[in-house]
Amino acid sequence: MRFRRNIGYGVLCLSLACSFSAYAADYDLVIKNGRVIDPETMLDAVLNVGIKDGMIVKITPDDIKGSKTIDASKHVVAPGFIDTHFHALDGLSLKLAALDGVTTGMDLEAGAIHVAKWYAEKDKGWPLNYGTGVSQEMTRMRVHDTEIDTSKPNDATTVFELRGKSMQDGTPGWSVSRSSKEQLNQILEYLDEEFRQGALGLSSTVGYMTQGVTTYEMFKSQEAAARYGRFTGAHVRFHGNPSNPEGPLGFSEIFANAIALDAPLNLNHNNEYGWWENEEKLQAAREQGYNVWSEYYPYTAASTAISAEFFHPDKFKVLSGGLPYEEVIFDPVQNKFLTQAEWEKTSKEHPDRSIFAFNRKRDEWLPFWLRMPHMIVASDAMWSGKGIDSWDLNPTEYVGHPRTAGTRGKVLSKARELGVPLMFTIAQMSYWPAKHLGDTGLESMKMRGRLQEGKVADITIFDPLTVKDNATYTMGEQGLPTSGIPYVIVSGVPVVNKGVFDLSVKPGKSIRFPVEAKGKFKPVTVESWSEQHVIRPISIDDGGLAKP
């Protein structure tokens, strides 16, 4: 019953012929004989699905026909998988994600700057649905690293390059420089304009900026998002620190801010020490009506830039729990674990290189995550580095974390092995991400993550008995596609057809808030703070204490 309460219920017409009447000739696509699963309504039955103009218009046990037909016998027909931690923004990596069942990929951790232009580029044609938050990190670069050209849209495909350029003057200002009042106001004004232009939320990598971002700047940045009802997604301070209290403190910071602001919050990759404490707090907050959630991916190793500050010797000992470099840091380019001397050499020569950092405790924790309500699956999928037009490259050419190609396949196969209900797993991959984002007021997410009449036809079809990941950490195998997912449909159009990614179609839609006419920026000044938070002096005319 606890699972049912957390999942939620929709109104399910028993006849499955609610308000959409359509003739057979009207269907563009029919999916027949599949096991249709919808976590919101708890529907789980063998049915036929009729699709027209990108929408699900009929779910019925009756025989229906359309211009095209997919026989989904012995397969699950599920709401398309939604990834909210998605850096796979080039051709090859996005193709691998699509083959893994993703219909919507949004970068709500690294984010982007100049989001209006970012969306305009994707609006020209993109295979999957797309969206972004505004990058706190790159916004700070605009203020603290003015020697870098940040006039164009930048996102996760360029952030490592920008980090490298910020080191040229010896000071990565975005990471280590604290903001003056004037600089803080400039940052907040930039953020406000991005929210006005429709950015989905504040995308914070504060875990890479622990020295530079003060707690007050973090609070005011979350407040800037909250003015628009937008959520904060954060890679928190001290992420990966395996000690108490340091481990959970980064989460406690953004959590306290979210509760104080009554603002939505997504804890990015809650897969390190202290995750159980974070989940307990999130569950308690949801019971009180707060829109807060977290995410995980099912891999032992993380992936990030080799030059990240927490790999430096003065911090690495704590991060690794005393383990040496050669048991933690794996370089996929050299295809080996690195000693401290090798790490120092490689990080200086290639500061923007992505490496793996292993934490064996994750193998013990994964069975809990697979059963954790409202803990969504989000891959942290990485780009290939092969360029935006790398669509037709062979998957063996992908160099990076296997989570890009295998996250959903790995979750489904591991959940099957452990006996986790399929309804629950699909909720983690489809329904809960859509619900939480929809609850922020994002209309396009209210139409996705469900398999119901009247919803967008974003659908993933997979074999529940054979679906599995194939990607590994070994060179040449890091991009091997998931098997057992023959069809991935975006707005009624198959982007994966019989297990093959279709380069000729680009049905992806923009996931974005409407552009607002006026911004909501409020500068931080001593006077405004005092007027808002300090009691006015008592006067005879007041007759007592009075707030302004």
pLDDT tens-digit readout, 74-93: 999 999 999 999 999 999 99
Q: Compute the average pLDDT of residues 499-515.
A: 97
Give the number of C-alpha atoms closer than 13 A to the C-alpha of residue 149, restricted to the C-beta side: 1
Give the number of C-alpha atoms closer than 13 A to the C-alpha of residue 299, restricted to the C-beta side: 27
Q: Which of 17-26, 41-50, 128-137, 156-165 comes out lowest in average pLDDT?
A: 17-26
Q: How far is CA 403 from CA 94, 122, 270, 356, 410, in A?
A: 12, 23, 15, 11, 9
Cα dihedral sign, 193-199-200-203: negative
pLDDT for the residue 318: 74
pLDDT for the residue 541: 52
Pairing of strands 102-112, 129-135: parallel
Rg of the chain over Cα atoms, rounded to whole angstroms, equals: 24
Per the structure block, which two tokens stand in for 401?
């974390």
pTM of the model: 0.90
pLDDT for the residue 378: 98
Least Cα distance to 227 among 441, 447, 435 occurs for 441
Which residues fall within 8 angstroms of residue 19, CB to CB, at 6 or more apart? 453, 454
Segment 4-20, tens digit of pLDDT: 434 333 333 333 333 33
The three-point CA angle 526-532-536 to 5° equals 95
Q: Is the pLDDT of residue 516 over 90?
A: yes
**Cα–Cα distance between 96 and 390 in angstroms, integer?**
11
State which amino acid sits at residue 356.
F
pLDDT band of 125, cuts 50, 70, 90: very high
The rounded percent of the chain whose pLDDT value lies above 70 is: 93
pLDDT for the residue 123: 98
pLDDT for the residue 335: 85
pLDDT for the residue 25: 54
**Cα–Cα distance between 221 and 208 in angstroms, integer?**
16
Q: Which of 149-163, 267-281, 313-327, 356-370 comes out lowest in average pLDDT?
A: 313-327
What is the dihedral angle through the alpha carbons of 303, 304, 309, 311, rounded to the nearest 10 degrees?
30
pLDDT band of 3, cuts 50, 70, 90: very low
Which residues fall within 8 angstroms of residue 21, CB to CB, at 6 or more apart? none
pLDDT band of 133, cuts 50, 70, 90: very high
